[in-house]
Amino acid sequence: MNSSRTNTGLSQGGIITMFTLLLLLLFFVSLTLGSNPLPLLKAAADAVSESPTIISLILTEIRLPRTLIALLAGATLGLCGAVMQGLLRNPLASPGLIGSSSGAAFGAVLVLYLGITDVVQLALPVGGMLGSLAAMLLVYMLAGRDASIITLILAGVAINTLALALVSLILNLAPSPYAVQEIALWMLGSVADKGMHDFWLLLFPTLIGWGLLAGSGKALDALTLGEDTAHTLGFNLPAIRWRLFLALALAVGAAVSITGAIGFVGLVTPHLIRPLVGHQPSRLLTTSALGGAAILLLADILVRLLPPGQEIKVGVITSLVGAPFFLYLILKTRRVQL
Amino acid sequence: MLNHTTLSLVLQRWSVACILLLASISFPQTISAAKPQRIVSINLCTDQLLLMLVAPERIASISSLALDPHSSYMAEAASGHQINHGKTEELLPLKPDLVLASGFAARPAVKLMRHLGYKVEVLPMTTDIAGIRKNIRQLALLVGEESRGEQLIQQMDKKITAVTRRLSNSGPKAIFYQPRGYTSGSNTLQDEVMRLAGWHNVATDIGVSGYSSIGLEELLMAQPEQIFTSSYAPGTSSMAQRQLQHPVIRRLTRERPMVEVSYRLWICDGPMIADAVEALASAHQ
Amino acid sequence: MTLLQASNITLSIDDTTILDGIDLDLQAGELLGLIGPNGAGKSTLLRTLAGLPGRSTGSVMLGGEDLRQMEARQRARTIAYLAQESSVHWPLMVERLVELGRLPHLTGWQQPASEDMRVIEQVMKQTDVEHLRQRVFDTLSGGEAMRVLLARALAAEPTILLADEPVAALDPAHQLEVMGLLQQHCNAGGAAVVVLHDLALASHFCHRLQLLDSGRTVAAGTPANVLTTDTLDTVYGIRGRPGFNSTESAITLPWELSGG
């Protein structure tokens, strides 16, 4: 009787298993779907053979990186949303709303269109990270440490608007004539037409970011009781805050520099997962990462099911679903505050 | 609704009145039937033909793009000429006796200049070499340089024939692929040039008509042996240009490197298209 | 035995003196009440004792060690702090919430082990919240919520409990219940500093009172010595009437505003 610690439906292990299976399924669906259906087994066999064929190239050089990037970026958004909401104790905090994504887009746009990435590839995620960090710190300074939900969101809106304006300014001033048409790519986000080189560029900063975030569960749990109590439970909050800001910037910056600012995955995922894990921040981390990966991959699969020719950006799908959810959250938050 | 329409009508009349007033200060003295002597071109395509056809002293102004060596075949000849940006207020003081524009041209300026009584001629955009010949003849007639026009056409045709004589028409598969996946299918100048240069345009096989974007997967499936590209603004950076570095494209171009054909050869239709045919044909070696 | 000794605690912010050279000591087994009018500096003093970051000067020694130099987790295992406004930001289940009290005992990736579970069960039993274990914190009544938060604090097995107005929002029965739990903790060898406004409760449960006013200690000692007609008048501006506390000592209890 006393060990009924899993009354909230599933155990965490069960949820993780469930999501892993779902991800596996989506992974194979994602590899199969494209401009033409792909005979997966044959393509895989060709891929490991001496001379790769057209279908094996489509598998390994086009669909695999697209799928892997969707997984990594989705997981980053889900995880970072969960960490931000826990750290700031604000249900509306997320990479998209507190400036982290748009700041990253600004940083990445700056280095890409100035041609710095042609010299140093790694400049792209680094630019994204610095932009993300700067935007987050600005929002944090604007809103103050114990900001109310609304103050933080307002500060986020201000910084988002600024970052968006700077992005369009750079794209307009960029020497490349293609730049100006790429604003949707940055503001909505897309994982189409990526290659394994993009994946490798994304992988390492992402893993470092995740690594730094992974150990934050206990601190986030403690923060449930407020900053003072968390401090008296033995957590050095300023150090934790810095570590998490850096880690968030690293992960979000890398993801956005490759995919653009994909909206609402980071906001929505933790809210969908939270009831499954009894609302405990530490239990939300892995599960939100898996959930975010599943949501983004699913959205990208949907994009590919739409009639070809019109390349709809994956961010359109996530925003179409996410924006109403955001409104619902606002209504819910308002009710609680009244 | 009604008020809005009325208001905009009033505003329109006012602006026309103002411009008429401005125009009366420098109204063209004569619109003569003789050879025009103060020709203004407001579009890159007419700029280039004009520079080929008439003596520099008869050209009053050409568009700013004519000076850009990436876009303009006649950039060298263009230097020293007065440039314009297709704005009516720039054109009026030039007192042009012929204003030339092309399919791309700034529409409001064309309308307004016509409204103000200037002779404005708009050349259609074309997608084949027959159309280029027609355009050259039309412009030559307008500026009174018919024999020079025929000479240009002959030179172009001679160059092209020299290439086609050497080649068979059912050549290896090729595709024209630009940043953001833009390709040229049937009914495009690039398609005709590829055919003349002895290539088979695989974009037509996958049903592309006109200009359209295709994905990397479709590019792979089409299995081109040769990829041509024509990067606008080389040396600049964007996501679109980054895509040309995709491993799939690198692999496709491992044996036959991607051939870059200068954009200025076909951004406009003109006799320089013969150079594009030569460039594409030389990729066979 | 002196568990906690604070000397000359001073804090000024922008020329305003919040705390002005306060000394405080806490003996094993002792329940110390911090009383005083609003703005006297009670909560600020308690925060300093809890080792919360701030700009106060002076020394706080915990068992012969400087509190500010102590390793954070070790401090957290010795001192538990119940903040004045204890909000819980996510709708956690009671059981999970109490479990958070074990955080100072867990390192890195360590999950609560059987020893931790034993302590959690014990403190939940002690505070009588076992039947609430599966309830979500937000749905609890004020008395239940305070008992759960107390269980959370006790789960760290601290020697010293610091509680900031733990009974302010409770009805008399629940006030007695919570004060009883604090007393129990002290009787079992621990010690506690409690900020209180209710002088009757303070005199009834606390072994010793320290009365603050404008950042200074005005009186300290047994309730009978602190709660006198004189101090009530000068510090609170009220007149009292005689009463008795649990040890049958004569004390003065608030009755009416003075001067009127």
**Whole-number pLDDT of residue A336:** 62
Average pLDDT, integer, range A79-97 = 93
CB pairs under 8 A between A and C: 81
C-alpha C131/C-alpha A105 separation (Å) is 51
> Across the beta sheet with B83-84, what order do the strands follow?
B83-84, B59-63, B39-41, B98-102, B120-123
Query: Is residue A116, in this structure, part of any structural domain at all?
Result: yes
Query: Does the structure show a pLDDT above 90 at A118?
Result: no
Interface of B with A (CB under 8 A): 179-181, 212-213, 215-218, 220-221, 223, 232-233, 235-243, 245-248, 251
Between B61 and B6, the more confident residue is B61
Distance, CA of B129 to CA of C86 (rounded, Å): 82
Residue A94's pLDDT is: 93
Residues C129 and C148: beta-carbon distance below 8 Å? yes
Contact A101, A256 (CB under 8 A): yes
Segment C127-146 mean pLDDT: 94
- Residue owning tokens 């940043």: B179
Question: Which residue, among A257, A258, A251, has the nearest Cα to A204 in the 3D structure?
Answer: A251
Query: Model confidence at B106, in pLDDT bands (50, 70, 90)?
Result: low
From C159, C177, C158, select the one nearest C167 (Cα to Cα): C177
* Secondary structure of residue B145 in the 3-state scheme: coil
The reply to whether B168-282 shares the fold of B35-154 is yes
Comparing C-alpha atoms, which of B203, B152, B164 is closest to residue B182?
B203
pLDDT in tens, B151-164: 999 999 999 999 98
Contact call for residues A261 and A246 (beta carbons, < 8 A): no
d(CA B275, CA B261): 10
Domain that holds residue A107: 12-337
Which phi and psi angles does C32 have, rounded to 5°?
-105, 125
Give CA–CA dist B63/B43, Å, rounded: 6
The answer to the question of residue A218 being in a domain is: yes
C181-203 pLDDT, tens digit each: 999 999 999 999 999 999 999 99
Parallel/antiparallel/unpaired status of strands B39-41 and B59-63: parallel
Residue A3 lies in a domain: no
Directed axis angle between helix B129-143 and helix B146-166, to 10°?
160
Q: What is the DSSP letter of A194?
A: -
To the question of pTM greater than 0.90 for the whole model, the response is: no
Residue of C nearest to A224 (CA): C89
Select the more confidently predicted residue: A3 or B232: B232
Who contacts A82 (Cβ-Cβ below 8 Å, separation ≥6)? A269, A270, A273, A281, A284, A285, A288, A289
In 3D space, the residue among A288, A271, A133, A160 whose CA is nearest the CA of residue A214 turns out to be A288
Task: Taking residues C104-131, report their average pLDDT.
Answer: 93
- Once rounded to an integer, what is the mean pLDDT over residues C133-142? 93
* Cβ atoms of C102 and C111 closer than 8 Å: no
> Chain A interface, mutation test: which of C43, C73, C96, most A Cβ atoms within 10 Å?
C96
The structural domain count of chain A equals 1
Using CA atoms, how far residue C258 sits from C199, C229, C233, in Å, is 17, 11, 7
pLDDT digits (tens, 9 = 90+) for A153-200: 889 999 999 999 999 999 999 988 888 888 888 999 999 889 999 999
Indicate whether A135 pLDDT > 90: yes
For residue A182, which residues of chain B lie inside 8 Å, CB to CB? Answer: 238-240
pLDDT-above-90 percentage for chain B: 56
Q: Do A176 and B223 touch (CB under 8 A)?
A: no
Distance CA C231, CA C243 (A): 15
CB contact under 8 A, A226 and C86: yes
Which residue has tokens 């048409």?
A181
Percent above pLDDT 70 for chain C = 100
Do A75 and A20 touch, CB atoms closer than 8 A?
Answer: no
Residue type, B129: I
- Is pLDDT above 90 for B8? no
Model confidence at B267, in pLDDT bands (50, 70, 90)?
A: confident
Can you give the CATH number for the domain in which A49 is found? 1.10.3470.10
CATH topology of domain C2-90+158-257: Rossmann fold (3.40.50)
Q: How far apart are CA C227 and CA C220, in angstroms?
A: 10
Q: Check A181 against B241: CB less than 8 A apart.
A: no
Q: Is residue A234 in a domain?
A: yes
At C22-61, the pLDDT tens digits run: 999 999 999 999 999 999 999 999 999 999 988 899 999 9
Q: Environment class of residue B247 by beta-carbon count within 10 Å: exposed (0-12), middle (13-18) or buried (19+)?
A: middle
Contact between A221 and C79 using a beta-carbon 8 Å cutoff: no
Interface pTM, i.e. ipTM = 0.93
Query: Residue C64: its pLDDT value, please?
Result: 86
Mean pLDDT computed over B140-145: 94
Euclidean distance between the first and final Cα of chain A, in Å? 38
Q: Mean pLDDT of all residues in chain B?
A: 85
pLDDT tens, residue by residue, A223-265: 999 999 999 999 999 899 999 999 999 999 999 999 999 999 9
- Ordered by start, the domain boundaries in chain C are 2-90+158-257
Cα–Cα distance, C212 to C40 (Å, whole number) = 6
DSSP class of residue A60?
Answer: I
For residues B237-254, average pLDDT: 88
pLDDT score of C84: 87
CB contact under 8 A, B237 and A36: no
Is the domain covering B168-282 a CATH 3.40.50.1980 domain?
yes
In whole angstroms, give the CA distance from residue A261 to residue A315: 8
Phi, psi (deg, nearest 5) at residue C222: -70, 155
- Return mean pLDDT, chain C: 92
Q: Which of C76, C88, C93 sits opposite A225 (nearest CB)?
A: C88
Between A and B, how many CB-CB pairs are < 8 A? 90
Which of the four pLDDT bands, split at 50, 70 and 90, describes residue B101? very high
Chains that touch A (3 or more CB pairs under 8 A): B, C
C16-27 and C2-13 strand pairing: antiparallel
Range in A55-64, A212-221, A303-312 the model is least confident about: A303-312
Distances (CA, A) of A243 to A77, A125, A219, B267, C151: 17, 18, 12, 53, 31
- Residues A268-291 have a mean pLDDT of 94
Q: Say yes or no to pLDDT of C82 above 50.
A: yes
Strands B173-178, B182-184: pairing kind: antiparallel
Six-digit token string for B119: 């002779």
What single DSSP character describes residue A307? P
- Structural domain boundaries in chain B: 35-154, 168-282
Which pLDDT value is given to residue B33? 56
Q: Does the pLDDT at position A338 exceed 70?
A: no
| Mean pLDDT, residues C69-80 taken together | 94
What H or E segment, with its residue span, contains residue C24? Answer: strand C16-27
DSSP codes of every residue in C91-151? --BHHHHHHGGGGGG--TTPPP-HHHHHHHHHHHHHTT-GGGTTSBGGGS-HHHHHHHHHH
Q: Judge whether residue C245 has pLDDT over 80.
A: no
Question: Chain B within 8 Å of A51 (Cβ-Cβ)?
Answer: no
Cβ-based neighbours of C245, under 8 Å, separated by 6 or more:
C203, C204, C223, C224, C251
Closest C-alpha among A252, A290, A255 to residue A269: A290
The Cα C39–Cα C213 span in angstroms is: 8
Measured between beta carbons, which residues in chain A are less than 8 angstroms from residue B221?
A: 35-36, 54, 58
pLDDT at B32 over 50: no
Q: Does domain B35-154 have CATH number 3.90.1150.150?
A: no
Q: What is the mean pLDDT of residues C109-118?
A: 92
Q: How confident is the model at residue C154 (pLDDT cuts 50, 70, 90)?
A: very high
Residue from the list C87, C93, C109 with its beta carbon closest to the beta carbon of A226: C87
Taking CB atoms and an 8 Å cutoff, what residues of chain A touch C113?
none
Sorting pLDDT into bands at 50, 70 and 90, what band is B12? Answer: low
Amino acid sitting at position C246: S
Sequence-ordered alpha helix ranges (H) in chain C: 42-49, 72-78, 94-99, 114-126, 142-154, 172-187, 199-205, 223-226, 229-231
CB contact under 8 A, C90 and A226: no
Chain-centroid distance, C-alpha C162: 3
- Which token pair is C162? 């610091």
Question: Contact at 8 Å (CB) between A107 and A114?
Answer: no
Q: Taking CB atoms and an 8 Å limit, are C86 and A8 in contact across chains?
A: no
Is-contact A125 A258, C-beta < 8 A? yes
A10 or B118, higher pLDDT? B118
Report yes or no on A174 lying in a domain. yes
Q: Report yes or no: B199 and B280 within 8 Å, Cβ to Cβ.
A: yes
The 10s digit of each residue's pLDDT in C206-236 is 999 999 999 999 999 999 899 888 888 999 9
Question: What mean pLDDT comes out for the span B120-127?
Answer: 90
- pLDDT above 60 (res A323): yes
Phi, psi for residue A92 in degrees, rounded to 5: -100, 0
* Whether C202 contacts C208, CB under 8 Å: no
Q: How far is A167 from C70, CA to CA, in rounded Å?
A: 48
Alpha carbon C9 to its chain centroid, in Å, reads: 18
Residues 193-252 on A with a CB inside 8 Å of B are: 193, 195-197
Nearest CA of chain B to the CA of A104: how many Å? 15
Buried b vs exposed e over A226-247: b needs ≥16 C-beta within 10 Å? bbbbbbbbbbebeebbebbbbb
* Buried-state track A192-223, b at ≥16 Cβ within 10 A, e below 16: bbbbbbbbebbbebbeebbebbeebbbbbbbb
Distance CA C8, CA A48 (A): 76
Q: Structure tokens of B274?
A: 């013969």
Q: Are B183 and B176 in contact (CB under 8 A)?
A: yes
